[in-house]
Structure 1
Amino acid sequence: MPPKGHLGGMKIIDNALSDRGSKYAVSGGPVTTAEEATAFIKQLCRAKKFAKASHNTWAVILPDGTPIKNDDGESGAGMVILRMLEREDLTGHIIVVTRWFGGTKLGGDRFRRVKDAVRVYLDDD
């Protein structure tokens, strides 16, 4: 089981998975507004490790149904997270997939790794 941590309502699963040198973590927690989503990312990035990550891709469906996503340079990855949130009917909860690039481009597999990381988060209890 990967190491886990909680930081002010934030759940962090560090070392969720790795692929060809790239390492992934997945984090999440409750948010109800766009401002809270932004604050969540800022709080996560207060940890130097996350601030130095290649990508902190995230998505949330606000309680009013508004979808918000951010690819953070990992084009299309926010939509992958958003679609998984829709399938799970999970609102008011942000999920962040963090990637530290390992030197090898993953091509289309990067979307599979994002899905895998979100699944690790959703399956964790």
Structure 2
Amino acid sequence: MLILENIISDRGSKYAVSGGPCSTEQEAKSFIKALCQKKKFAKATHNSWALLTAETPIKHDDGEAGAGMVILRMLEREGLRDHVVVVTRWFGGKHLGGDRFRHVQDAVRIYLDHLRDS
């Protein structure tokens, strides 16, 4: 499990991105459960995620409408299969509007760049 914390901050909201090898929806849910064992992540407002498998794309917004699709599209463009990516947001009290999608994209891009550089 790779976790990159405090990667984006905007109007009080803070973002992290994490991910790891995963090939089924059940494994993705287990990944989220393991992530949320860390108290900080359990208290997050949203843990949006996506997974691209050989069988089907899977996404979950966790209340951040559209975030799962943003992650999924980026995984498709990258061709990254059997790897779950989770974007975590702690709401800072001010609505971000459309900027929240840019932050989700930026978080996934940071994660993918980190994978390439490792």
Q: When the two structures are superposed, what TM-score results if normalisation uses the length of structure 1? A: 0.90
Q: 2:58 corresponds to which residue? A: 68
Inter-partner Cα distance in structure 1 for 2:87 and 2:55:
21
Which residue, 81, 90, 96 being the options, matches 1:100? 90
Return 5+ residue gaps in structure 1 as ranges: 1-9
Return 5+ residue gaps in structure 2 as ranges: none
Answer 1 or 2: which has greater helix percent: 2
Contact 1:65 1:91 in 2 (8 A): no
Q: 2:33 corresponds to which residue? A: 42
Which residue, 27, 50, 70 being the options, matches 1:80? 70
Q: When the two structures are superposed, what TM-score results if normalisation uses the length of structure 2? A: 0.95
Task: State the aligned residue count.
Answer: 115
Structure 1 stretches of 4+ with a deviation exceeding 3 A read none
Q: What CA deviation, in whole Å up to 9, does each residue of 1:20-63 have, x standing for no partner?
A: 1100000000001111111000000011100000000000001x
Inter-partner Cα distance in structure 1 for 2:81 and 2:30:
17
The percentage of counterpart residues that share the same residue type is: 70
The alignment's C-alpha RMSD in Å is: 0.7
